[in-house]
Structure 1
């Protein structure tokens, strides 16, 4: 397992400098682009924090491929299989939102359908 905390801290430090020191000095028409860069850096830092086990990531990818194949084959259209797919898709979506926009989950305690 790799220690990604160094990379995560570097991204956080760079993001803080961008947001706190450089952003105020930028002309108004460039601030939105700088905020987008800062947001991307925050996502990358969270991904580094979460994705530190290559084997686990490959297992997740394999599970996603298997789920996609099952959906394409029509084998999960009803009953228990459909409920399981629904639960897996909600969990996957929640995990992605936790990386990309964790504040959203703080405002909205659950996804519709949970």
Structure 2
């Protein structure tokens, strides 16, 4: 059995449909670059909601983070085509910081829910 195969423990395999995470990364990258801050809070709440569901389904946090980063990478590739090869590195770091924090918050909340230690 490979490292990504589900074990036969009677539990369903975790859902790994990361299209949402990739789209969120892309949408957030574009929103930050276009400075449409009014949509960012809603996007982050959506990302947190999906992350919590994935965490409760047993999806490892690193898989979620990689999917989000793939979305950011795709968004930046699209922007690079329009804006040239040099994008603001500070913007990229800020974007990944915001998204990583959102995923981490949701993942910790899911863990606390499972353990019965929700704040």
TM-score by structure 2 length? Answer: 0.36
| Bigger relative contact order, structure 1 or 2 (CA pairs below 8 A, ≥6 apart) | 2
| Structure richer in helix, relative to its length | 1
